[in-house]
């Protein structure tokens, strides 16, 4: 093995070890006093941070899709579990709500098996989507405001016996059509693609699918397999959001995202030269 190859391997191994080690959790993003919203929702606690700015860039791209193709309803999913999909969904919806044009934003937790939107926002998970589709509850009775202007949440609701069948029903089609007339943008947080059929069912009913991918973990073949499943279901993948990415900053500082017990912390570290 040549010296260059050895050096590259050493850098790669050090990076993987640095990301995977379990540090004492010290958040750059601090909880706003008395807020029930989780620290990982950076768009609420620290929207001007580097990570918050990344969500603003995504917001600009989505606004362009709305202007050019009239896309307004998006499914957010991932190939497998644990890639940061729900945190991304909430942060993106909240960033869209912060836009000065006062656009109305709806975030739906469509993971009726293990929905976590309510947990991250400190709200009740029921009534929610399952009650709308299963029991005929009026959507307005499930609307929750997380104390963010222009943002409305439909939680997942109680776990039903047949989530896939509910999502594939005509009620779902009717619900989405109705909500699209009431909100400027709709984001639907769904389960991952490979373990379940839910995102394939939902993706075909929305304008586009955004895939969340965790850097350094999700293999290309896994992503391609998930894309193929979505394509076969006639769901259109329109973009990708990568989590767990190192950001190289001036003055020999970098910011990186670490996974810790199913959560993400954001830290700065000085690079010694």
175: three-class secondary structure by DSSP: helix
Q: How confident is the model at residue 119 (pLDDT cuts 50, 70, 90)?
A: very high
Which domains are seen in the chain, by residue range? 27-270 (3.40.50.300)
pTM of the model: 0.78
Rounded Cα distance, 94 and 213, in Å: 20
| C-alpha torsion angle, residues 58, 64, 65, 68 (rounded to 10) | -170
Instruction: Kindly report, residue by residue over 191-236, the tens digit of the pLDDT.
Output: 999 999 999 999 999 999 999 998 888 888 999 999 999 999 999 9
Instruction: Kindly report, residue by residue over 61-115, the tens digit of the pLDDT.
Output: 999 988 899 899 999 999 998 889 999 999 999 999 999 888 999 999 999 999 9
Q: Are the CB atoms for 194 and 79 separated by under 8 Å?
A: yes
Rounded Cα distance, 139 and 97, in Å: 20
Residue 48's contacts (CB-CB under 8 Å, 6 or more residues apart) are none
Residue 185 pLDDT greater than 90, yes or no: yes
* Element holding 265 (H helix, E strand): strand 263-270
How far is residue 42 from each of residues 122, 151, 186, 255, measured CA to CA in Å? 15, 15, 20, 14
Rounded Cα distance, 133 and 198, in Å: 14
Residue 32 pLDDT greater than 80, yes or no: no
Q: How confident is the model at residue 164 (pLDDT cuts 50, 70, 90)?
A: very high
Residue 11 pLDDT greater than 70, yes or no: no
Start-to-end C-alpha separation, the chain: 26
Q: Which residue has the higher pLDDT, 266 or 123?
A: 123
Please, how many CA atoms are within 13 Å of residue 250, restricted to the half-sphere of its CB? 0
């Amino acid at each position: 093995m040549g010296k260059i190859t050895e050096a590259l391997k050493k850098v790669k191994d050090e990076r993987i070890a640095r990301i995977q080690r379990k540090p004492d959790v010290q958040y750059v993003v601090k909880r706003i006093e008395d807020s029930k919203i989780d620290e990982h929702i950076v768009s609420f606690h620290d929207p001007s941070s580097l990570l918050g700015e990344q969500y603003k860039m995504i917001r600009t791209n989505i606004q362009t899709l709305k202007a050019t193709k009239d896309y307004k309803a998006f499914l957010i999913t991932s190939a497998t579990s644990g890639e940061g999909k729900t945190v991304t969904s909430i942060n993106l919806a909240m960033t869209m709500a912060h836009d000065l044009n006062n656009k109305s934003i709806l975030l739906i937790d469509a993971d009726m098996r293990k929905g976590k939107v309510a947990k991250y926002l400190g709200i009740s998970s029921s009534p929610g989507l399952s009650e709308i589709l299963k029991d005929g509850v009026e959507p307005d009775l499930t609307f929750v405001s997380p104390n963010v202007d222009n943002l409305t949440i439909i939680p997942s609701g109680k776990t039903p016996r047949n989530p896939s069948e509910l999502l594939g029903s005509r009620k779902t089609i009717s619900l989405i059509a109705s909500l699209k007339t009431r909100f400027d943008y709709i984001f639907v947080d769904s389960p991952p693609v490979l373990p379940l059929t839910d995102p394939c069912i939902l993706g075909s009913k929305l304008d586009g699918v955004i895939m969340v991918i965790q850097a350094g973990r999700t293999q290309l073949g896994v992503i391609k397999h998930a894309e193929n499943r979505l394509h076969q279901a006639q769901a259109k993948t329109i973009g990708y959001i990568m989590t767990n990415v190192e950001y190289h900053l001036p003055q020999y500082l970098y910011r990186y995202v670490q996974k810790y017990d199913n959560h993400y912390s954001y830290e700065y570290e000085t690079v010694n030269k």
